[in-house]
Each structure stands twice: as structure tokens, then as C-alpha cells.
Amino acid sequence: MADSQPDLSSSSFGDDPTVDDARTRILAAAGPVFARHGFDRATVREICRQANVNVAAVGYYFGDKMGLYRQVIRQIHDSKERRFPSPAARQSEPTETLRLLVYTLLSRMLAGDASGWESQLMMREMQQPTAIFGDLVQESFRPLFEQLVETFRLIIGSDVPRDELEKFAFSTIGQCLYFRIGRGVIQILVPETTRKRAYDLEQLSQHVTSVMLAAAQTRRNSHHPLA
Amino acid sequence: MADSQPDLSSSSFGDDPTVDDARTRILAAAGPVFARHGFDRATVREICRQANVNVAAVGYYFGDKMGLYRQVIRQIHDSKERRFPSPAARQSEPTETLRLLVYTLLSRMLAGDASGWESQLMMREMQQPTAIFGDLVQESFRPLFEQLVETFRLIIGSDVPRDELEKFAFSTIGQCLYFRIGRGVIQILVPETTRKRAYDLEQLSQHVTSVMLAAAQTRRNSHHPLA
DNA sequence: CTCGCAGTTAAACGCTTGTTTCAAACAGTT
DNA sequence: AACTGTTTGAAACAAGCGTTTAACTGCGAG
């Protein structure tokens, strides 16, 4: 059943950027193609054309198209941890932690097309989950989510119910995500001059941070009216 | 060139729910299928199977698959205007207008599968725009966007730059969108008991409204420290 | 030299897709 | 009843897809 892959299927092998064999080239070419077209629309033939290998190579090295997709996902998670280490928790003020988390989140999403295909693939999984969606959320999403929840707990106070803190976290993520997923809408609704001036990474993260900080602090004051 | 459609291609004909000819049934079946699978993955055969017509009918009535898709989009815009009339502007307090706008937005997005395929299709257009994306944004998105901007102008004040108001509008939309598009993520990260209790339409719109109101009022106070 | 094995290739297979074909069925008019 | 234009039906078409096959290359070991 096409499970007779060569024994180099063990991980931490295809990630070495020094080698440039067929397997590595396929893996490197598959990511952007999957991100651009989605799993279904992406064709094995295009991936192999860009990797300069024969179409049979993906069957040889990865079993089938889904096996290749799985390896691409692993590659994403590894490289993300390498390039964007989770910001050191509770380094100083929780408000500063929130600011850093938002900046990190937006950085990942608005990354240039060269490396921005990773978050694009993640958004595709949101809208059309494949078999690996659960693992992707648990491994790559939950850490950031928990950090956001704990940060809001520090800002607002320990006596608000957890589901409220979670909604604050989702509101933060939602805003960041929209400035990426709604890029096409923004391009139409906002003239280019305004976009060039007021929609860069710094100002967007500043905006999202200030919105959520204002909401969190208002919520705290409403809960502790005696302060 | 397959342009020899029958003369009933003029609009405001297939929308009459009283008739039930082949063309109407195709149009009714195509929407959910396009929303579930996207334009590419959706198959003419499945649409025709659900509509109880032959596969040749779509070519006969709509020219080709893209022509059918275009008519589906028109149908969306029309029915939306009919079922969710724009909330009456400046009816009372602008804060109440904001609350109503958020509620309307979330209603459209979280609508059940029976009628929720419209916003789902909109989200697909965001991620993979087709030829009609521009029209869709201008006709169906800009009105709500402008209403949000004007509402925030009333809440915050007329002397803040417009691009800031626009960001507030996008933050509002982004949160609402995430509670729909990130539904799968939330299902994994939040246990079912909490979801059933705290994630219904009322509480979600209340949350988004309070977040944006707190942010807006904080922004006003920071700009008018003399009040 | 010969054998076996990892790697690669062109070609084919089986399947699904959108679209077209052409004849049959229908409805209305003369 | 006969004709005419419209609508439907089963079948076929070409193209593209993922996957498989079988032949072929090097190349080191026996």
C-alpha cells in the first residue's frame, strides 16, 4: 500500500538546509504551493515541476500527497519555533507582555510572501480542516492562546471567570487575523495612500494592543469599583 | 460559444420563490454547495443531483459553471438586503447603534447552516478571490463598514483622523469574523460545557460591543483630557 | 563481471472534472 | 394531426488529477 518509503522518513533529516536532494527540494517547493492553492487545488505536478523532480518522486519519498502535506506541516511548526521563539513570559509588566504577544502574532501573519505562506496555510486549515487540523491547533495554537489568557488574567484580575479571559484572547487573535485575512477587503476599502501611511506592522500592533488594553482595564475597574 | 442561453437570463426572475422550475432549483442548490466546498471543489454534478436536474441544465441556463456562480452571488446580495435590512442609523445613542451593528454582523455570520452559507461564501472570497470579489465588497461590505466608521466618529469625536476610525471598524469586524472562521479552533480550545454556556449569540455580541466601547471611550478620554 | 539496490524517468492507468452532443419528450399553435 | 421551438436526458468528450508501473541509470559489494 505504498508504505515502502525509504528509511530516511525519520524526522530532523529533511530540515538540514545544506543538503539539496530531491526530497528536500520537494519539501521546500510544496509549502508555498499548498499555501497558494490549498490542499485540493494544489497539484503534485506543479510541486514537482518547481522542485525539478519527476512526479513519481513524491510517491517514492512521502507515500502520497497527504503524506507530503503532513511533512510540510511539521516543517512549519519546527521553523516557526526556531524563528519566532515564544516571547519570554512575565518579563516585566503584563501590559508589555500583551504588547509583545500581539506584535509576535502580527509578525507571523504579515510576514512577506517569501515566508508568509505558513500562516496562510494555517488559515486554510481553519476554513477547510484536513486530518491534521487537531494536531496543528494543539501544537501551534494552544501555547499562544494560554499565554494570552494568563496575561489577561494578570491585567484584569484573578477573580473573573475563565471564559471571559478566553474571549479576550480570541478578540485579540481575531483582530490580528483580520488584518491578514481581510487584506483584500482593506485594499479595496482604504485608499493606497492611507494604507502605506497607517497600516504597517508597528501601527497595527499598537492599535490592537491599545484596544485590548482599554477593554481589559475597563473590565477591571467595573469589577473593582472601590479602587 | 455557449452563450445561447434562453431569454430568461434577465434578473429578478429566478428569485420568485413561488415557481419551482429547473433554473430555480439549480440556483437554490448551488449556494450551499459552493459555500461548503468553494468554487473549485464544488462539482456541477453534485449541484445538479441535489436539484434533481441533468448536468446539461447548468450549461443550458447559465452558460457554464462560472455563470452559475455569478447568479448565486447576485442572489446573495438581494436576499441579504431583504432579510437583514441595515439597522436604522442614529436611532438613539451611538453606543446602541454599535451594539445593533455588532449583533447584526454576528447574526449573519453565525446563522445556521440553512442560511449561513452566504457569509461562508464571503469568507471564501476573502481567502481566494474570484472575478466578482470587487463587486461583492463594494455592494455588500462597504455599507456596513461606513456605518461602523460613522458610529465610531459619533462615539469618539469628530477630531480623530479617519484612518483611526477605520481601524476601529476593522477591529470590530475582525472579532466577529473570528468567532465564525475560528469556530474549529474554539471547538478544540474551549470545552463543550463552557461553549454551550457562554458562546451564544447574545453573549458574544455583548462581549465584542463592550470591548469596542471601552476602547473607543478610552480613546476619547485620552484625546479630551479636559472633560 | 555480476548482482542487487537506491534513485530516477517516461508512460500509462483509473478516475473525476466541466462541457458538449444529439435525440427524445414536451408544450403551444396552426 | 402536424409543425415548431423549448426543455430534458443519457451518453460521450477532452482534459486534468493522483497514483502506479516498468524500464533504466549509477554504483558499491561480492
Q: Do A218 and B217 touch (CB under 8 A)?
A: yes
- How confident is the model over A88-117, as pLDDT tens digits? 555 679 999 999 999 999 988 887 666 678
Residue A227 pLDDT level (bands cut at 50, 70, 90)? very low
The answer on pLDDT for A191 being more than 80 is yes
Contact A195, A175 (CB under 8 A): no
* pTM of the complete model: 0.84
Q: How far apart (Å, rounded) are the C-alpha atoms in residues B114 and B125?
A: 20
Considering Cα of B109, then B110, then B116, then B121, what sign does the dihedral take? positive
Whether B197 and chain A come into contact, CB under 8 Å, resolves to yes
The contacts of residue A181 (CB under 8 Å, 6+ apart) are A123, B123, B126, B127, B177, B181
- What residues of chain B score a pLDDT lower than 70? 1-19, 80-91, 112-115, 223-227
Q: Do A189 and B218 touch (CB under 8 A)?
A: no
C strand bases under 7 Å from protein CB: 6-12, 16-22
Closest C-alpha to B13, from B2, B24, B22: B24
- pLDDT at residue number B7: 45
CA of A60, C1' of D12: distance in angstroms:
35
- pLDDT at residue number A131: 80
* Residue A41 CB neighbours (<10 A): 14
What residues of chain A lie within 8 A of the CB of B187, using their CB? Answer: none
Whether A214 and chain B come into contact, CB under 8 Å, resolves to yes
What residues of chain B lie within 8 A of the CB of A212, using their CB? Answer: 211, 215
The answer on pLDDT for A26 being more than 80 is yes
**Grid cell locating A12:** 530532523
Number of A:B CB contacts under 8 A?
153
Q: How far apart (Å, rounded) are the C-alpha atoms in residues A16 and A35?
A: 22
- pLDDT at residue number A113: 64
- How confident is the model over A76-93, as pLDDT tens digits? 777 765 555 555 555 679
Whether B149 and chain A come into contact, CB under 8 Å, resolves to no
CA of B23, C1' of D9: distance in angstroms:
16
Q: How far apart (Å, rounded) are the C-alpha atoms in residues B15 and B83?
A: 14
Residue B9, SS3?
A: helix
Residue A10 pLDDT level (bands cut at 50, 70, 90)? very low
Closest C-alpha to A163, from B109, B115, B204, B11: B204
Residue A4 pLDDT level (bands cut at 50, 70, 90)? very low
Strand C protein footprint, C-beta under 7 A = A 6, 8, 21-22, 53-57, 60; B 1-2, 42-46, 55-56, 58-59, 64-66
The answer on pLDDT for A71 being more than 80 is yes
> CA-CA distances (angstroms) from residue B221 to A15, A174, B150?
52, 25, 18
Q: How far apart (Å, rounded) are the C-alpha atoms in residues B140 and B170?
A: 15
DSSP letter assigned to residue B20: -
- pLDDT at residue number B14: 40
**Grid cell locating A118:** 505558513
Of all nucleotides, the one whose C1′ comes closest to residue B46's CA is C17
**Grid cell locating A107:** 509578525
> CA-CA distances (angstroms) from residue A59 to A40, A101, B176?
17, 40, 42
What residues of chain B lie within 8 A of the CB of A181, using their CB? Answer: 123, 126-127, 177, 181
The answer on pLDDT for A143 being more than 60 is yes
Whether A28 and chain B come into contact, CB under 8 Å, resolves to no
- pLDDT at residue number A148: 97
The contacts of residue A60 (CB under 8 Å, 6+ apart) are A5, A6
Whether A133 and chain B come into contact, CB under 8 Å, resolves to yes
Closest C-alpha to B205, from B179, B225, B185: B179
Longest dimension (CA), chain B: 71
Secondary structure string (H, E, C) spanning chain A: CCCCCCHHHCCCCCCCCCCCCHHHHHHHHHHHHHHHHHHHHCCHHHHHHHHCCCCHHHHHHHCCHHHHHHHHHHHHHHHHHHHCCCCCCCCCCHHHHHHHHHHHHHHHHHCCCCCCHHHHHHHHHHHCCCCCHHHHHHHHHHHHHHHHHHHHHHHHCCCCCHHHHHHHHHHHHHHHHHHHHCHHHHHHHCCHHHHHHHCCHHHHHHHHHHHHHHHHHHHHHHHCCCC
Residue A2 pLDDT level (bands cut at 50, 70, 90)? very low
- pLDDT at residue number B87: 56
Mean pLDDT of chain A: 86
Q: How far apart (Å, rounded) are the C-alpha atoms in residues A31 and A62?
A: 14
Residue A74 pLDDT level (bands cut at 50, 70, 90)? confident
Encoded amino acid at B213, one letter: L
- How confident is the model over A154-184, as pLDDT tens digits? 999 999 999 999 999 999 999 999 999 999 9
**Grid cell locating B110:** 453565525
Contact B213, A159 (CB under 8 A): no
Burial class of residue B8 in the structure, from the number of CB atoms within 10 Å of its CB (0-12 exposed, 13-18 middle, 19+ buried): exposed
* Residue A194 CB neighbours (<10 A): 15
The contacts of residue B6 (CB under 8 Å, 6+ apart) are B60, B61
Picking from A109, A126, A150 by the largest number of B CB atoms within 10 A of its own CB, the best residue to mutate is: A126
